Structure 1
Amino acid sequence: MKKDAEVIIIGAGIAGLTAAKILKAAGKSVLVLEASDGVGGRVRTDEIDGYLLDRGFQVFLTAYPEAKKLLDYKALELCKFDPGAIILKREGITTLGDPARQPGSIVSTLLSSAATFTDKLRMLRLKLKLAGKSIDQIFSEPEITTTEYLKKEGFSGTIMNQFFRPFMTGIFLEDRLSTSSRMFEFVFKMFSEGNAAVPAKGMGMIPKQLAECLSSQELLFHQNVSAVNGGSVTTTDGVVYQANYVLIATDPLRSPIRNRNSNIERHSVSNMYFTAKKRPFEKPLIALNTLPGKIVNNIAVMDRISTRYSENGDTLISLSLIGDHSKANQNELQENVVNELKFWYPEAVSWKHLKTYHIDYALPNDDHVTNDPDYTTMLVNAQCFTCGDYLMNGSINAAMKSGRLAAEAMINTMF
């Protein structure tokens, strides 16, 4: 039977596109089948009314080792956030920066009540400690929770509640900080050694760049795969594609070979966008809400980072709400969000709601993580492999690495 390609890849997210790039570079023919109308998976950007809306607030960490090897940073036109954060407290607003990287933030950081002076010294000590640890060393350490780790490092309750908890909650998408200490060390090291950035035209430019190696015949959209049998792939429309190998690069909820159930451990997030005539703050920082029982965890003014996010010059405000808010009354949810934020930003009452994304599967559960998945976790059978960040840890770096490793494993079996 005629083969459509040597390898069929199911899913055009970061992992699948990375695998396609590696396979094509090795001279292998590929066919990528994507169920949706575009590339990116969980990393996509929509254009709505002249605004660029990332599907879920995300930042790209330039220190990611896989990304440095596979992406053209210059072509992405990366626009960076300043290191640090704006801290929103009941007593008011303060700023915590990184004087080692931005000397101009030294005064505001020293005066900030979000951390004790000893905390600030411990933060510097932690940066130096992780600078001396390799990523392999980090992922070989015993795992404890991030909360236990920070307490072990001697940080006070003040900085825990006013910086680490809201900051890491925005990254891990869970507020108990049960996420593995390995993941905390890795992320903190990446923040310390590079920039947190977004491509000028949105996070969706990352998968689009990876997909540049594919022709229109090699990347097919609206292909919802229902079954995989050996090298045969069948879609819900009854179309059958044939290959020597199949790589499943979907998240586990959408995998055609796994039990599709709602019990797969993952973290959800709601991402709400507002527009306004005036920015709530001018610094290129993320604002963290430290109030107990809050709805909004963090705020980012996207047009301050890249003006391309707003075509007409109005400001674009991104809010992250941790958890699943899809079943809430949406008008009430918007009203509650505005009522919460007007404490610091009275002009929030005049913000215009643009769109809300409810993302059920935003990140895999990262209570236990690795940086080198066992070969057997990628191998389904002799003709079928799988990849994705859930096999390692929830990050763009892990998605790329898992895609690369799966592609290399298939290349090795082809010879």
Structure 2
Amino acid sequence: MKKDAEVIVIGAGIAGLTAAKLLKTAGISVLMLEASDGVGGRVRTDEVDGYLLDRGFQVFLTAYPEAKNLLDYDALELCKFDPGALILTRDGITNMGDPIRQPSSLVSTLLSKAATFTDKLRMLRLKLKLAGKNIEEIFSEPEITTTEYLKREGFSGTIMNQFFRPFMTGIFLEDRLSTSSRMFEFVFKMFSEGDAAIPAKGMDMIPKQLAECLSPQELLFHQKVTAVNGGTVTTEDGNNYQATFVLIATDPLRSPVRSGNSVIKYHSVSNMYFTAKKRPFEMPLIALNTLSGKLVNNVAVMDRISPAYAKPGHTLISLSLIGDHSKANQKELQENVVSELKFWYPDASSWQHLKTYHIDYALPNDDQVTNESDYKALRLNAQCFTCGDYLMNGSINAAMKSGRLAAEAIINTMRK
């Protein structure tokens, strides 16, 4: 039977696109099948009424080593957040910055009650400690929870509750900070050594750039794969595609070869967007809600970072709600969110709701992580390989590395 390509890649997320790009570079023919209407997987951006809405608040860390090798940063027109955060407390709002990278934040950081003076010295010590560790060393350390790690580093309950917990909750999408200490060290190192940024025209500029190497004949949308049998891939519409090898690059919930007995642990998030005539704050920072029992974990004014995110004369406010809020009464949820934020931003009552995204599988569970994926994990059988950040750790960097390792495994197999 005539083959449609040497390798069929199922899923056009970051991992699959990375693999396809590297396979094509090696001269191997590729056919990518994507169930949705566009590339990106969990990294998508929608245009709604003149606003750019990322599906879930995300930032891109410029220090990611895989991304440095694969992406053209200049073409992405990266727009950067300032290092640090605004801390929302019962007493008001303070600014915790990084005086080493941004000297202008020194005074406000020293005056901030979100951390003791000793905490601030320990933060500096932690930055220096991680600057001296490479990524391989970080991922070879024994694993404890992030909470236990921060306690061992001597941080007080004040900075734990007013900075680390809300800040890391926004990244890990879980508020117990049970996430592996390896993941904390890796992420903290990436924040310390690079910038947190967004592409000027939305996060999906990243997958779109990776997909530039694929022709319309090599990238097919609305192709939901229901079965993989050897080199034959069958879609929901009854189409059959043939290849020498198949690479499954979906998240594990949507894999066509998922084991029915496997328990897949993951974290969910809801992302709510509002527009207004006036920004709630002007500093290019993320605001962290430190209150217990909160709905909103963090707030970002997207057009303050990239003006293209909102239409002229308006602002775009992104709110992250940790967990699954899809079953809540949505009108009440919006009202409760606004009521909560009015404590700091009285104008919130005039904000206009744009859209809410409920993302079930936002990140894999990262209680145990690695930065490598061995050959046995990548190869499911003689003709089928797999990739994805869930095999390593929940990050764009891991998605890219997993895709690269899978592509290299296929290339090496074909050359034997």
Q: Is the pair's TM-score, using the shorter chain for normalization, greater than 0.5?
A: yes
Give the Å deviation of 1:262.
9.6
| 1:351 aligned partner, one-letter code | W
Give the Å deviation of 1:375.
1.1
Mapped partners of 1:213, 1:20: distance in 2:
9
Mapped partners of 2:315, 2:237: distance in 1:
43
Mapped partners of 1:255, 1:166: distance in 2:
32
- The answer to whether 1:70 aligns with 2:51 is no
**Does the CA contact (< 8 Å) of 1:7 and 1:30 recur in 2?**
yes
Deviations 1:15-58 (A, max 9, x none): 00000000000000000000000000000000000000000000
Q: 1:140 to 1:262 in 2, by over 3 A?
A: closer
* Pairing 1:210-359 to 2, within 5 Å after superposition: 210-259=210-259, 263-359=263-359
Per the alignment, residue 13 of structure 2 pairs with 13
Mapped partners of 1:204, 1:298: distance in 2:
21
Mapped partners of 1:159, 1:279: distance in 2:
27
Deviations 1:282-332 (A, max 9, x none): 000000000000000000000000000012330000000000000000000
| 1:332 aligned partner, one-letter code | E
Per the alignment, residue 377 of structure 2 pairs with 377
Per the alignment, residue 387 of structure 2 pairs with 387
Give the Å deviation of 1:4.
0.3
Secondary structure of the 1:155 match is: coil
Per the alignment, residue 127 of structure 1 pairs with 127
Per the alignment, residue 366 of structure 2 pairs with 366
Per the alignment, residue 55 of structure 2 pairs with 55
| 1:297 aligned partner, one-letter code | N
Mapped partners of 1:32, 1:126: distance in 2:
43
**Structure 1 unmatched ranges of 5 or more:** none
| 1:172 aligned partner, one-letter code | F
Secondary structure of the 1:245 match is: strand
- The answer to whether 1:89 aligns with 2:89 is yes
Q: How many residues align?
A: 415
| 1:385 aligned partner, one-letter code | F
Secondary structure of the 2:340 match is: helix
Deviations 1:217-268 (A, max 9, x none): 0000000000000000000111000000000000000000003689410000
**Does the CA contact (< 8 Å) of 1:50 and 1:312 recur in 2?**
no
Per the alignment, residue 36 of structure 2 pairs with 36
Mapped partners of 2:264, 2:103: distance in 1:
45
Q: 1:410 to 1:262 in 2, by over 3 A?
A: closer
| 1:308 aligned partner, one-letter code | A
Runs (4 or more) in structure 1 with deviation over 4 Å come to: 260-263
| 1:7 aligned partner, one-letter code | V
Give the Å deviation of 1:13.
0.2
**Structure 2 unmatched ranges of 5 or more:** none
Mapped partners of 1:115, 1:413: distance in 2:
53
**Does the CA contact (< 8 Å) of 1:254 and 1:260 recur in 2?**
no
**Does the CA contact (< 8 Å) of 1:79 and 1:198 recur in 2?**
yes
Secondary structure of the 1:317 match is: strand
Per the alignment, residue 161 of structure 1 pairs with 161
Deviations 1:85-125 (A, max 9, x none): 00000011100000000000000000000000000000000
| 2:227 aligned partner, one-letter code | A
Mapped partners of 1:396, 1:379: distance in 2:
21
| 1:40 aligned partner, one-letter code | G
**Does the CA contact (< 8 Å) of 1:307 and 1:313 recur in 2?**
no
Give the Å deviation of 1:129.
0.2
Mapped partners of 1:166, 1:102: distance in 2:
22
Secondary structure of the 2:380 match is: strand
| 2:112 aligned partner, one-letter code | S
The percentage of aligned residue pairs carrying the same residue is 85
Per the alignment, residue 140 of structure 2 pairs with 140
Per the alignment, residue 398 of structure 2 pairs with 398
Q: 1:236 to 1:260 in 2, by over 3 A?
A: farther
Secondary structure of the 1:381 match is: coil
TM-score by length of 1: 0.99
Per the alignment, residue 118 of structure 1 pairs with 118
**Does the CA contact (< 8 Å) of 1:253 and 1:261 recur in 2?**
no
Q: 1:115 to 1:11 in 2, by over 3 A?
A: same
Computed over aligned residues only, the root mean square deviation of the Cα atoms, in angstroms, reads 0.8
